[in-house]
Amino acid sequence: MSKTLKKVLTIAGSDCSGGAGIQADLKTMCAHRVYGMSVITSVTVQNTQKVYAAQDIDPEIVTGQIRAVYEDIQVDAVKIGMVSNVQIIQAIKEELLRQKAKNIVLDPVMISKSGFSLLKEEAIAAMSELLQIADIVTPNIPEAELLSGIKIKGPKEMERSARVISERGAAAVLIKGGHLPGSALDIFCYKGQFYPFESPKIPGKNTHGTGCTLSAAIASNLAKGLMPVEAIKQAKAYVGQGIKDGLAIGHGVGPLGHLNEIYRQLERIEESR
């Protein structure tokens, strides 16, 4: 089992309430049956209602965590989430280059759903450093606007914005449309082509960590050998199911239901005994 088990690393911030960040990523990896590992960049103080504070980890400790993992374990894919500041961005870039990391999915996290800045203002420009090493970058609408300088109102601007972000060095760009009215339309720009992924918007308030979950699912699928378009298609379906299975936990924007399919399977096995 351990010989075929794929290993996936998340480099992200901790969400003590379990809905986003490292915690969402590890649950996603678990549900994808890959071995999850984590490098923590920042410890946030948050719940489903609000982010109260964040304590960034020393960049040397971030480097040390990445090195400790890569020196000992073969990593099949890596997802990068909240990176907080310029020094941490540089530390991640240098170490991932040194380790010749492959299958890098970058979720350029900037602002939480509750409006807290998870990336220092001066670090927004430095995000382009990470674009250059990413195989797939997954900005939401406000992040794509900041990275490309294009105001996005619909699919046309999503495509233009994706092209600009590609020109800035990202190998492939998935613009997530969860913040736009209408359906949940994401557009993937890959090797000069556009691939739309559209699904009905699921009503409800369980969308805490949708972006974290999507990027962790894409990384897990890449680790398992899926090609980018299929990896994204399956990851989007996983997020949709997670929103539908959303858990009534907390008083604000609640978490996705990650392992419900596995729980359902276990229940069926128990019932058939």
Ligand X SMILES: Cc1ncc(COP(=O)(O)O)c(N)n1
Q: Which residues bind ligand X (CB under 6 A)?
A: 12-13, 15, 20-21, 44, 46, 51, 81-82, 109, 112-113, 118, 208-209, 211-212
Name the β-bridge partners of 189: 173, 194
User: In angstroms, rounded to a whole number, what is the distance separating the alpha carbons of residues 233 and 212?
Assistant: 16
User: In angstroms, rounded to a whole number, what is the distance separating the alpha carbons of residues 96 and 94?
Assistant: 6
Q: Applying CB under 6 A, does 124 fall inside the site for ligand ATP?
A: no
Among ligand X, ligand ATP, none, the one that 21 touches (CB under a kind-dependent 5 to 8 A) is: ligand X
Q: Applying CB under 6 A, does 164 fall inside the site for ligand ATP?
A: no
207 is catalytic: yes
Q: Applying CB under 6 A, does 158 fall inside the site for ligand ATP?
A: no
- Residue at 225: amino acid letter: G
209 is catalytic: yes
Which window, 30-38, 56-64, 96-104, 179-187, contacts ligand ATP (CB under 6 A)?
179-187
Contact positions with ligand ATP (CB under 6 A) in 18-37: 20
Point out the residue whose Cβ comes nearest to ligand X.
21
Residues 110, 118 contacting (CB under 8 angstroms) = yes
Q: What are phi and psi of 230, to 5 degrees?
A: -70, -40
In the complex with ligand ATP, the residue whose CB is nearer, 57 or 214, is 214
Q: Which has the closest alpha carbon to 102: 212, 193, 6?
A: 6
Q: Applying CB under 6 A, does 118 fall inside the site for ligand ATP?
A: no
In the complex with ligand ATP, the residue whose CB is nearer, 20 or 162, is 20
Q: Residue 33 in 3-state DSSP?
A: coil
User: In angstroms, rounded to a whole number, what is the distance separating the alpha carbons of residues 5 and 35?
Assistant: 7
Structure tokens at 237: 């379906």
DSSP string covering 139-195, please?
A: -BHHHHHHHH-----SHHHHHHHHHHHHHTT-SEEEEB-TTSSSSEEEEEEETTEEE
Element spanning 55, H or E? strand 51-56
In the complex with ligand ATP, the residue whose CB is nearer, 48 or 85, is 48
Among 18, 21, 177, 209, the active-site one is 209
Q: How many residues bind ligand ATP (CB under 6 A)?
A: 22
Least distance to ligand ATP from the beta carbon of 93, Å? 21
Q: Applying CB under 6 A, does 234 fall inside the site for ligand ATP?
A: no
Among ligand X, ligand ATP, none, the one that 91 touches (CB under a kind-dependent 5 to 8 A) is: none
Binding residues vs ligand ATP (CB under 6 A): 20, 113, 140, 176-179, 184, 186, 199, 201-202, 207, 209-212, 214, 236, 239-240, 243
